[in-house]
């Protein structure tokens, strides 16, 4: 049985965190080209919604776009006309200040930190939006753009979203809002209608491998390819799998699922005991995630092959999701849930 995944696995990736100093960016070349065209044309939308899966480069693009405009405030300049990408030299004064979060014309609006833990609490209160509105009430310190990066719109409380809407309706001159959204369908229609939406496509596995190779110390090519496959288009997600023990656990779970409807009772009991331990929470969460994806993939494959046995798995999927959430919320014994779930999966696959 695999051990608990190492806590040393990286949780961030290039072009994901808005405070990265790195200018390297992978994928989304067409989006950069469209942004440059809009800037050169003089018809730059004042608000952009950067939509797509979490961890595929939306926040990185926002940082690059902001840095480029602050370093090149004149759209008619030779540097802008000759630019092929949004790259800015790290020696540039504006680039250095953006990297240090010290540029007076750039505002970061993010989820609150949870005290000294520095973890995101998952909400942006109206008070922070009001601070941003105050930021836009003054003219740019360097006579160029005033830019806000919001990561993410999904985290805005309702009162905060309404306060933002007022600013989007009457934006100050030379203001730009670069707003990340992982679930744009859940945004207020009034906000969506006032913004230019750009949809980021998931990265290819080869692009993810390139990112992992460039920004991690891992040299195991097989591990990186496995992590890229598990990333499902997201570098950030792939980075969480860039751990040999964690990947071994995934392979173990996938092999168990592949043998269904056959069950190795001895192995199942060993897995159940592992999940039930105090340090088994991470492995249990990995099991839930892997099975959830396996059910989805099995349903898709069954539908494409013209079979009509989806109902049992679809119902089980719903039951699985609810029970997994209850087990986590109420800190219930994970063993009975795991054993029952595997028996139900076996019965569904027999059908």
pLDDT digits (tens, 9 = 90+) for 285-332: 999 999 988 888 888 777 766 555 567 777 888 888 888 889 888 888
User: CA-to-CA distance for 62 and 147, rounded, in angstroms?
Assistant: 10
- Domain ranges across the chain: 29-199, 243-350
Identify whether the C-beta of residue 54 lies closer than 8 Å to the C-beta of residue 154. no
Q: In what order do the strands lie in the sheet with 106-110?
A: 106-110, 146-151, 175-181, 47-51, 196-199
- Give the pLDDT mean for 152-178: 92
What's the pLDDT score for residue 4? Answer: 40
pLDDT tens digits along 75-86: 999 999 999 999
What is the pLDDT at residue 112? 64
Q: Which residues contact 228 (CB under 8 A, 6 or more apart)?
A: 205, 206, 208, 209, 212, 238
- Asked whether residue 259 carries a pLDDT value surpassing 60, the answer given is yes
Asked if pLDDT for residue 24 goes beyond 60, the answer is no
State yes or no: pLDDT of 197 exceeds 90: yes
- Give yes or no for residue 282 having a pLDDT over 70: yes
How much is the mean pLDDT over the chain? 85
DSSP lists the bridge partners of residue 51 as: 181, 199
Up-side HSE of residue 198: CA atoms within 13 Å toward CB?
Answer: 24
Fold of 29-199: Rossmann fold (3.40.50)
* Residue 120 DSSP one-character state: B
According to the model, what pLDDT value does residue 260 have? 92
Residue 336 confidence (pLDDT): 94
Rounded mean pLDDT of 60-73? 95
Cβ atoms of 283 and 2 within 8 Å: the answer is yes
Give me the pLDDT at residue 66, please. 96
Q: Rounded CA gap, 150 and 180, in Å?
A: 6
Distance CA 79, CA 75 (A): 9
Instruction: Tell me the mean pLDDT in the region 52-80.
Output: 94
SS3 196: strand
DSSP state at residue 279: G
Q: How far apart are CA 5 and CA 7, in angstroms?
A: 6
pTM above 0.85, yes or no: no
């Amino acid at each position: 049985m695999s051990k608990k995944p190492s806590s040393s696995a990286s949780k961030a990736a290039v072009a994901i965190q808005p405070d990265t100093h790195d200018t390297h960016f992978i994928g989304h070349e067409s989006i950069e080209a469209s942004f440059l065209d809009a800037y050169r044309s003089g018809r730059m939308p004042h608000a952009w919604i950067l939509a797509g899966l979490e961890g595929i480069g939306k926040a990185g693009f926002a940082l690059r776009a902001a840095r480029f405009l602050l370093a090149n405030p004149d759209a008619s300049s030779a540097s802008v006309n000759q630019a092929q990408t949004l790259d800015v030299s790290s020696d540039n004064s504006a680039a250095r200040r953006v990297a240090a979060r010290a540029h007076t014309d750039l505002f970061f609006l993010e989820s609150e930190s949870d005290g000294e833990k520095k973890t995101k609490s998952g909400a942006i209160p109206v008070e922070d939006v009001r601070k941003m509105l105050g930021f836009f009430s003054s003219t740019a310190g360097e006579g160029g753009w005033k830019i806000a990066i919001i990561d993410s719109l999904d985290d805005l409380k309702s009162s905060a979203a309404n306060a933002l809407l007022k600013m989007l309706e009457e934006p100050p001159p030379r203001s730009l809002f670069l707003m990340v959204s992982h679930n744009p369908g859940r945004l207020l229609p009034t906000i969506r209608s006032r913004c230019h939406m750009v949809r980021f496509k998931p990265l290819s596995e080869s692009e993810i491998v390139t990112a992992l190779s460039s920004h991690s110390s891992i040299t195991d090519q097989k591990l990186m390819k496995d992590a890229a496959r598990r990333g499902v288009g997201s570098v950030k997600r792939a980075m969480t799998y860039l751990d040999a023990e964690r990947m071994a656990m995934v392979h173990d779970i996938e092999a168990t699922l592949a043998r269904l409807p056959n069950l190795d009772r001895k192995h199942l009991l060993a897995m159940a005991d592992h999940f039930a331990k105090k340090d088994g929470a991470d492995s249990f969460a990995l099991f839930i995630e892997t099975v959830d994806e396996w059910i989805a993939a099995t349903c898709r494959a069954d539908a494409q092959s013209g079979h009509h046995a989806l109902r049992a798995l679809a119902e089980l999927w719903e039951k699985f999701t609810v029970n997994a959430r209850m087990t986590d919320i109420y800190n219930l014994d994970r063993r009975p849930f795991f054993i029952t779930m595997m028996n139900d999966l076996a019965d569904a696959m027999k059908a």
